Amino acid sequence: MSTFLELGLKEPINKALTDLGYEKPTVIQEKAIPQIISSTTDLKAFAQTGTGKTAAFSLPILELLDENNGNVQAIILSPTRELAVQIGNNIKDFCKYLKNVKVTTVYGGSSMEEQIRSLKKGSQIVVGTPGRTVDLINRRALKLGNVQWLVLDEADEMLNMGFKDELDKVLDATPDTKQTLLFSATFPREVESIARNYMTNPIEITSGQKNQGAENVSHEYYSVTERTRYPALKRIADLNPDIYAIIFCRTRRETQEVADNLIKDGYSADSLHGDLSQGQRDSVMGKFRKKTIQILVATDVAARGLDVTELTHVLNHKLPDQIENYTHRSGRTGRAGNKGVSIVLVNGKEKGKLRQIEKIIQKKFIESKVPSGKEICQNQLMNLIDKVQNIEVNETQISEFLPSIFEKLEGLEREELIKKFVSLEFNTMLAYYENAKDLNDLSSRDNSRARASDENMTRFFINIGRKDNLNPGKLIGLINEQNIGDKVEIGSIDILDTFSFFEIDKNYEDKTLSAFLENQPDFDGRSVNVEITKKERGGAGGRRGGKKPFGKKDGGFGRRRSSDSSASSSRRSSDSGSRRPERRSDRPDRPDRSSRASSERSTGSDRNSGGFGRRRKES
Ligand code: AMP
């Protein structure tokens, strides 16, 4: 494995990469960087997001461009605004020590004037979405006559999104002498035709190991609400006594809060994010690598340099803003031949993103139910019994204590002894989960309320349901088959016995109706029809849904409200608190967010108590 310097990059770039925690090049970087540096031949790269492709194309450009020339020398096209911004920011990070290099990112939905001003100052690199790039070319604000590198990032996605004409225009605006670098996860006919028409004898490279570990990773999702997200997270940790996981969060604040709560609730956890000093980060990473900490709560950025091969789980407390980062997160587990599970907690609104991710990872998410208290206790007990069976007895060390122990336990039958021993280990957990509510039930109620208030979605009634063997996956398939639109977002889905509800982006309301009307689809021989249903405050509602929104005998708003309130009080006494509520009065009401020392204390002592993800603080 080479270093970045060995690939031909200069020290200022290498230094910036070190700052970012890039320790060694990825496969695609190893192949692309020297190739682009040493040759002007066009390049076709098969690379998915998460393989490090941004650095693969931008680092050699930074190496070669003329810092003292303010003309646009590289134009990078990317399909979405988010990706363009991400690429622009990445490049700014990479050229931190190249003082004269300027990068401008141009995309729709943001002030054109500001972008023009930035271009006028002279930028060697422009990153843009196709539409805005063409607008700026047409206004003569963006001049591509001196371009040496044209990068088409996620070319397949750009064509999927209908940017063929814009691509043609940008390609036409650049000189023939340029080097074209085309990055794509797939090479359908349209991408091949771009390559054929606009590239000259391109070299082909592939990232080799796409999504490292992807084969060994299964993907699960749990439906939650903001109320049940944290309790569900704890239950998942409790269900897996030997969990060794990273919990990914979107922001530093979210990361710190989740970590603080886990520590407060007795888990062997700690946080890793950009607000910590380098020393603190190194210390946390060291403890996690040594497994002194079982659960690391981290932001995407902070966890980047961390290479741990034995993670059992990756937990997505919230999905990343850039869904492409999901691959990067989930690829942290299932490495080196191990099996791994990537778990996502999603509320009703976030569910639509799962479909987009499925396209990227080319695998389906399995829906899982938040485990009940009984399932957790059973798992923990069986895990303990397995450990008892497998523990090696060190005869020489314990032999001197055994006579007095035998004497003390004399008179206890085998069965009684086992019961006492198990109770000693589990009374706290059994008591904690004794009256634990079904979080799945709470989530579906909460989600229904949240959905009802989502103004951007239109709720549809469909005349098929569970009795017709409909499930969410099949319903999504059926909706997709109607060709309503490429990127149409599907919101929450409620499958009831004989009919169901689903939500679609409001902008596609008419198209959805007309598509179903025109196509007249059937489902397992039953003709299907859909209608818009009115949203009602507080319920899954609609003409038919209003009275019995959830297909339950006892449905109805009054009842739901009252059970919700009892649910939240139970949450207070159970899931939102420590497993040992009787001790809570000892503790401050709010966790001490600033106290690193306290977190270290608790994780340190936790280590000694043995057992599961949630360490017991008693005895
Ligand atoms: P990309 O495929 O460019 O979206 O990169 C995926 C992620 O990997 C981003 O978070 C990058 O910052 C990170 N990354 C790229 N190259 C490296 C590297 N050599 N070492 C560590 N992280 C990297």
258 has pLDDT over 90:
yes
What residue's CA is closest to ligand 1, atom 6? 50
Q: Is the dihedral of CA 2, 56, 249, 256 positive or negative?
A: positive
Whether residue 149 is predicted with pLDDT greater than 70 in this model: the reply is: yes
CB 79 within 8 A of CB 43: no
- Give distance in angstroms: CA of 79 to centre of ligand 1: 19
Handedness of CA 322, 323, 329, 331 (dihedral sign): negative
Give the pLDDT confidence score for residue 278 in this predicted structure: 67
Q: Could you tell me how far CA 533 lies from the centroid of its own chain? A: 32
d(CA 395, CA 314): 39
As to burial, measured by CB atoms within 10 angstroms (0-12 exposed, 13-18 middle, 19+ buried), residue 516 is buried
Q: How far apart are CA 77 and CA 131, in angstroms?
A: 10
617 CA distance to ligand 1 middle (Å) = 39
- Which residues are CB-contacts of 180 (< 8 A; sequence separation ≥ 6)? 42, 43, 149, 150, 151, 152, 198, 199, 202
Which domains does the chain carry? Answer: 11-206 (3.40.50.300), 217-372 (3.40.50.300), 374-432 (no CATH), 451-588 (3.30.70.330)
Ligand 1 centroid to Cα of residue 101, in Å, is 21
26 lines ligand 1 (CB under 6 A): yes
381 burial level (CB within 10 Å; 0-12, 13-18, 19+): middle
Q: Are the beta carbons of 221 and 60 closer than 8 angstroms?
A: no
The top-scoring range by mean pLDDT among 84-88, 182-186, 380-384, 547-551 is 84-88
33 lines ligand 1 (CB under 6 A): no
> What is the per-residue pLDDT for 547?
26
Listing DSSP states for 47-66 in one string gives: --TTSSHHHHHHHHHHHHS-
What is the three-class DSSP state of 217?
A: strand
List the structure tokens of 59: 């680092």
What is the side-by-side strand order in the sheet with 125-128?
Answer: 103-106, 125-128, 74-77, 149-152, 179-184, 43-46, 203-206
Does ligand 1 come within 6 angstroms of the Cβ of 613? no
**DSSP annotation string for 547-562:** TSTTS-TT-SHHHHHH
Q: How confident is the model at residue 563 (pLDDT cuts 50, 70, 90)?
A: very low
Query: How confident is the model over 322-332, as a mean pLDDT?
Result: 80
Cα–Cα distance, 418 to 452 (Å, whole number)? 51
Query: Residue 254 Cα, ligand 1 centroid: separation in angstroms?
Result: 22
User: What's the 91 CA to ligand 1 centre distance in angstroms?
Assistant: 12
Q: Are residues 303 and 246 in contact, defined by beta-carbon separation less than 8 angstroms?
A: yes
Span 504-528, average pLDDT: 89
Q: Is 129 in the pocket of ligand 1 (CB under 6 A)?
A: no
Contact yes or no for 158/130 (Cβ under 8 A): yes
Ligand 1 pocket test, pick from 1, 6, 20 with the greatest ligand atom count within 8 Å of Cβ, gives: 20
Highest mean pLDDT among 220-224, 380-384, 607-611: 220-224
Which among 17, 209, 328, 361 is the best mutation to test ligand 1's pocket, defined by most ligand atoms within 8 Å of the CB? 328
Q: Determine the average pLDDT of the residues in 542-564.
A: 25
Distance 424 CA to ligand 1 centre (A): 47
pLDDT for 172 equals 92
- pLDDT tens column, 451-468: 544 677 888 899 998 888
Give percent helix, percent strand, percent coil of the chain, each to the nearest 5: 45, 15, 40
Where residue 469 falls (left for φ over 0; alpha for ψ -120 to 50; beta otherwise) is left
Q: Which of 47-56, 112-121, 222-231, 360-369 is least confident? A: 47-56
pLDDT of residue 217: 84
Could you tell me whether strands 103-106 and 125-128 are parallel, antiparallel, or unpaired per DSSP bridges? parallel
Write down the pLDDT at residue 16: 97
Question: Which H helix or E strand runs over 32?
Answer: helix 27-38
Query: What per-residue confidence (pLDDT) applies to 169?
Result: 93
51 CA to centre of ligand 1 in angstroms = 6
**Residue closest by Cα to atom 13 of ligand 1:** 52
* Residue 289, token pair as written in the block: 């690598």
Rounded average pLDDT over 355-369:
86
Looking at residue 38, its pLDDT comes to: 95
- Give the pLDDT confidence score for residue 534 in this predicted structure: 66
Higher pLDDT, 362 or 229: 229
C-beta separation of 305 from 246 below 8 A: no
Looking at residue 444, what is its pLDDT? 65
For residue 367, give the 3-state DSSP assignment: strand
Q: Quick one: what percent of the chain has pLDDT higher than 70?
A: 79
Instruction: Judge if the beta carbon of residue 86 lies within 6 A of ligand 1.
Output: no
Least confident of 150-159, 434-443, 540-549: 540-549
50 lines ligand 1 (CB under 6 A): yes
| Residue 604 predicted with pLDDT over 70 | no
pLDDT in tens, 269-298: 999 887 887 678 878 888 998 899 999 999
* pLDDT of 566: 26
Q: Could you tell me which residue, 305 or 89, shows the higher pLDDT?
A: 89
pLDDT at 598 over 80: no
How far does residue 94's CA lie from ligand 1's centre (Å)?
Answer: 12
Distance of CA 481 from the midpoint of ligand 1 (Å): 35
5-19, 220-234, 333-347, 387-401: range with highest mean pLDDT = 5-19
The radius of gyration computed from the CA coordinates of the chain, to the nearest angstrom, equals 28
Structural tokens at position 409: 């336990």
pLDDT at 151: 97
Please identify, by atom number, the ligand 1 atom nearest to the C-alpha of residue 86.
4
The residue whose C-alpha atom lies closest to atom 22 belonging to ligand 1 is 22
Cα of 129 vs centre of ligand 1, distance in Å, is: 21
Ligand 1 neighbourhood includes 212 CB (under 6 angstroms): no
Task: Report CA(29)–ligand 1 centroid distance (Å).
Answer: 10
> Is residue 555 a contact partner of residue 549, using CB atoms and an 8 Å limit?
yes
Whether the CB of 304 sits within 6 Å of ligand 1? yes
Residue written as token pair 């450990």? 387
| Ligand 1 touching residue 207 (CB < 6 A) | no
pLDDT digit string, tens, across residues 88-126: 999 999 999 999 999 999 998 788 999 999 999 999 999
Nearest ligand 1 atom to alpha carbon 26: 19
What is the separation, in whole angstroms, between the first and last Cα of the chain?
49
Q: Does residue 331's CB lie within 6 angstroms of at least one atom of ligand 1?
A: no
Q: How far is CA 612 from CA 141, 361, 420, in A?
A: 61, 31, 19
Q: Is 35 in the pocket of ligand 1 (CB under 6 A)?
A: no
* Ligand 1 and 51: CB distance under 6 A: yes
Of 190, 314, 317, 175, nearest to 250 by C-alpha is 317
CA distance 559 to 510: 35
Structure confidence by residue, pLDDT tens digits, 193-237:
888 888 989 999 987 544 444 667 889 999 998 888 999 999 999
The four Cα atoms 229, 235, 237, 240 give a dihedral, to 10 degrees, of -140
Position in ligand 1 atom list of the atom nearest CA 49: 2
Q: Encode pLDDT of 404-455 as tens digits.
A: 989 988 888 889 988 888 888 777 777 778 777 778 766 666 555 555 446 7
For residue 320 and ligand 1, the question of a CB distance below 6 A is answered with no
The finding on whether 52 has its CB within 6 A of some atom of ligand 1 is yes
Give me the pLDDT at residue 454, please: 64
Tokens coding 354: 């799962």
Statement: residue 590 has pLDDT above 60: no
Whether 306 lines ligand 1, by a CB cut-off of 6 Å, is: no
How far apart CA 241 and CA 76 sit, in angstroms, is: 47
Alpha helix ranges (H) inside 461-508: 472-481
pTM: 0.45
**Average pLDDT of every residue of the chain:** 78
pLDDT of 471: 84
* Alpha carbons 509 and 511: distance in angstroms, whole number: 6
